[in-house]
Amino acid sequence: MDFDDTREEAEFRARARAWITKNAPHELHTELVNAPFGHLDLRSVDAVQAARQWQSRKARDGWACLSWPEEYGGQGAPQMHTIIWSQEEAVYSRLGAPFLVSQGSLGPTIMTWGTEAQKQKLLPPIVTGVDIWCQLFSEPAAGSDLAGIRTRSIREQDGSWTLKGQKIWSSGAREADWGVILTRSDPDAVKHHGMTMFFIDMRAPGVVVRPIRQITEQSHLNEVYLDNVRVPDEHRIGPVGAGWKVALTMLTNERITVGSHMPTGFEELFSLVNQITQSGVPAVYDRSLRSRLAGFASRANGLKYTYYRALTELSRGGEPGPEMSIMKLVAASTMQEIATLALDLQGLRGAVVQEGMDDNDDRFQMMLLRSAGARIEGGTDQVMRTIIAERVLGLPQDMRADKGIPFSAIPTSPNQKAPAAAE
């Protein structure tokens, strides 16, 4: 990949910069720069509203979802334009947080698995920011072992479906218009074969969303209860029984999105060490600290270029593979290490929580509280390592005791005995 702009790219960059200078919500600039880590929260305005406005302005003038096909609201532009755009959009890209599911993982999944009618119906309102989506995969007893989901989809005589069960840890479910949901349609099929994917209207009768209070005092995560929710067959994504394959497309894209959008906090740390002193000397002159900074800088740059490599692969018509799990693994743990170091440097001041504090004062505290979740969402560190070990390094597979057994026959208590595997 050549990182110098071609003449065409330089021209595109200049146009993008001029448009952003003229149209960006500059009144939010400082607040966005200082926004706490985690989900987007703004103090002066409603963050979702501001996000929708920015998205709709971009779509109006042809700057949204640049690489998506034109017939679905995109611009059919090369991936390099997406990279240039994100460099120029800079801090305003934080307003894209409510669209991470819809643009990052759902959109590409619909393009791969959706019917033409679904593409026409679902993709354009994602581009314009009219529709916000959430991902309803995890359940109380199915997270890392996602194929263990128990939410049922039952086919009715008229061809429609009834959904029953519970999802948990659903980010942004209260703001979402639509949810993409993984269900078990055939409990008697082997675990990975009896699942079907749907999308549901989050305001449909029988959908109940309850917020979960998090350690950061935010409540972006939710429980979602499905009490006999009726879903037309047109809301099925992919074939009946192919839900696991559809889920894998979403999860691969999610890991790239989460990994590439996860701030490591390096810039904030760099700015902190330039501001504070240790024993009267600017902290940035401390040799051991400089060596740690250099380590973080190389990781942050490694992440950036790994992301560009994924985009290049996409632009060549390929699919980013399991090696992209590295991004999420490295970004999340780097964020936690940086937050820990920053709090050490801040001393007692870093631990204070007080009404009216400047955003800047508590940002590393928020970052530390948030970082534990970052190492879990989109696949835990251990799961990422297993993916890398098995699918990138080709190491022997983890033991899977429930392989080849009908889902309904998998023991759920120590007293039950597993039947012999069929395959």
Bridge partners (DSSP) of residue 237 are: 197
Contact pick of 20, 111, 343, 376 for ligand FAD (by CB under 6 A): 376
CB of 181 to ligand FAD, least distance (A): 9
Paired sense of beta strands 133-136 and 178-184, if any:
parallel
Contact pick of 377, 389, 392, 410 for ligand FAD (by CB under 6 A): 377
Three state DSSP letters for the chain: CCCCCCHHHHHHHHHHHHHHHHHCCHHHHHHHHCCCCCCCCCCCCCHHHHHHHHHHHHHHCCCCCCCCCHHHCCCCCCHHHHHHHHHHHHHHHHHHHHHHHHHHHHHHHHHHHCCHHHHHHHHHHHHCCCCCEEEECCECCECCCHHHCCCEEEECCCCCEEEEEEEECCCCCCCCCEEEEEEECCCCCEHHHCEEEEEEECCCCCEEEEEECCCCCCCCEEEEEEEEEEECHHHEECCCCEHHHHHHHHHHHHHHHHHHHCCCCHHHHHHHHHHCEECCEEHHHCHHHHHHHHHHHHHHHHHHHHHHHHHHHHHCCCCCCHHHHHHHHHHHHHHHHHHHHHHHHHHHHHHCCCCCCCCCCCHHHHHHHHHHHHCCCCCCHHHHHHHHHHHHCCCCCCCCCCCCCEHHHCCCCCCCCCCCCCC
CB of 272 to ligand FAD, least distance (A): 24
Residues touching ligand FAD: how many (CB under 6 A)? 20
Q: Which stretch binds ligand FAD (CB under 6 A): 11-19, 137-145, 322-330, 361-369?
A: 137-145
Residue closer to ligand FAD (CB basis): 75 or 325: 325
Asked if 263 is part of the footprint of ligand FAD (rule: CB under 6 A), the reply reads no
Q: Which stretch binds ligand FAD (CB under 6 A): 89-97, 167-175, 189-197, 198-206?
A: 167-175
CB of 231 to ligand FAD, least distance (A): 18
Q: What is the separation of C-alpha 379 from the centre of its chain, rounded to a whole number of angstroms?
A: 11
Q: Which stretch binds ligand FAD (CB under 6 A): 135-143, 193-201, 323-331, 408-416?
A: 135-143
Residues 298-357 that bind ligand FAD (CB under 6 A): none
Asked if 165 is part of the footprint of ligand FAD (rule: CB under 6 A), the reply reads no
Q: Which stretch binds ligand FAD (CB under 6 A): 26-34, 88-96, 186-194, 371-379?
A: 371-379
CB of 390 to ligand FAD, least distance (A): 11
CB of 101 to ligand FAD, least distance (A): 7
Whole-angstrom distance, CA of residue 227 vs CA of residue 403:
30
Asked if 170 is part of the footprint of ligand FAD (rule: CB under 6 A), the reply reads yes
Q: Which stretch binds ligand FAD (CB under 6 A): 21-29, 80-88, 134-142, 239-247?
A: 134-142
Asked if 218 is part of the footprint of ligand FAD (rule: CB under 6 A), the reply reads no
Contact pick of 67, 75, 109, 138 for ligand FAD (by CB under 6 A): 138
Contact pick of 171, 185, 306, 365 for ligand FAD (by CB under 6 A): 171
Residue closer to ligand FAD (CB basis): 67 or 170: 170
Residue closer to ligand FAD (CB basis): 67 or 102: 102
Residue closer to ligand FAD (CB basis): 92 or 137: 137
Residue closer to ligand FAD (CB basis): 352 or 372: 372
**With contact defined as beta carbons under 8 Å apart, do 147 and 248 qualify?**
no
Would you tell me which residues interact with ligand FAD (CB under 6 A)?
A: 134-138, 143-144, 169-171, 221, 373, 376-377, 379-380, 382-383, 386, 398
